[in-house]
Amino acid sequence: MIGKSGQYRPAFRTPAGIGGCLALLTLVAGGCAPDHRISMGEFLDMQRMDATQKQDVALQDAPADLDRKLGRYAVGMGDVLMVSVRRPNGDAPDVPVTVRVDRNGQIDLPVTGKLTVADKELEDVEDLIQQAYVPAVYREAVVLVELLSADPTNVILVGAITEPGLVPLRRTERNLLFAIQGAGGITEFASGDVTLRRIRHPAEELTLDLTDPIELQAALNLEPLQNGDIVHVHAASPNTVFVGGLVARAAPQSYPPGAGINILQALAAAGGLRTDLTPRDGTLIRRMSDGTDAHVKLDMDRLAMGSDPNIDLLPGDILWVPHTVETRIQEFLNRNIFMRAGVSVNYSVTGIEFMNRSSLQSGRYGGGDLQDAYDPFGFLGQNTALQGITAQTAP
């Protein structure tokens, strides 16, 4: 509007005197609290240290015969074997003999007597029997040993499994991996977490992530499963991350189990950062393995430029874009100055930046005129009195 003195005065009111100063001081003071967040570098070091500690523990307990645990079957107590002996000189073969491995790990064969076969693979049992027959009984002989039946250990499989129920396991297969395989494997809804409940020790419960090689190794190193033990394969919970603060759409975001989502993708799914402000700061809150929450400081500009790692989020992560001193001042100006003037401000290029950038004022980015240089928000153009003056003086 035009004052009595003929001078132009904006058609809006700025915060009056002391009140406006106190409001701005309050905004600034609110953004000056001590920052207890850790840097991205410190957070990545914590992640590496946590993984290293898990690996060290697993390696300390790693069994020397891990390959054997996943290798060929070795006979043991209760197994039933069929032993065939054939002489290569054309004589009729001996009648196959069916024997059971006794509690001492031995079998009893005609002529040769008892032989200890416990913990031997079938080929090793064949070599042992051949050595017993040749040359004491036969000059030459070919021995074949077959496993007719193994003494089973019955465990119970429940949860996200293809065929839940009672699963029989052979003696050297009494671990979580073979138990899951015996039930047809996991379903597409499984999370990878497996809980073992031992029927003889109900208070002892152990949960492991079998998708992690370190924890899988620890699972194979457990005491063998026993009859009645319960294996619970957990279904994956929705992959939900929580995005809030100065974003366009603050809300939880749910994805299919196992789907990867990183920081920039989550921000994009939230409609991006608010355009009426210039948020440059973010916080990632993650629950660590020891039960504590890590608060990680994020630099939005460095993330967008690729200078900082755009890390993957985990289910349950909170991505928060908080207010800073800069955004609080911008919001204060928006509410108390620009909004009262009927002006919409988009901080993709902020009004403050625009007025302080000589390159933009000079019109080098897309051209411009005097009105662009001295009245970027069009305050003068909106004043009806000035419009009338302009119309009267126009040639």
Q: What is the pLDDT of residues 124-155, one digit of tens each?
A: 999 999 999 888 888 888 899 999 988 889 99
**pTM as predicted:** 0.49
pLDDT tops 90 at residue 283: yes
Same domain (yes/no): 228, 156:
yes
Same domain (yes/no): 320, 244:
yes
Name the more confident of 55 and 245.
245
Average pLDDT of the chain, as a whole number: 77
Q: Is residue 303 part of a domain?
A: yes
What is the extent of the structural domain holding 156?
152-235
CATH number for the domain including 188? 3.10.560.10
Q: Is residue 367 part of a domain?
A: yes
pLDDT tens-digit readout, 173-203: 888 999 999 999 988 888 889 999 998 888 8
pLDDT, position 57:
46
Same domain (yes/no): 223, 296:
no
Q: Is residue 208 part of a domain?
A: yes
Cα→Cα distances 319→48, 210, 251, 267, 300, Å: 21, 28, 10, 9, 12
- Among the candidates 149, 171, 206, a domain finishes at 149
pLDDT tens-digit readout, 291-320: 889 999 999 999 989 999 999 998 889 999
Same domain (yes/no): 198, 136:
no
Q: Is residue 316 part of a domain?
A: yes
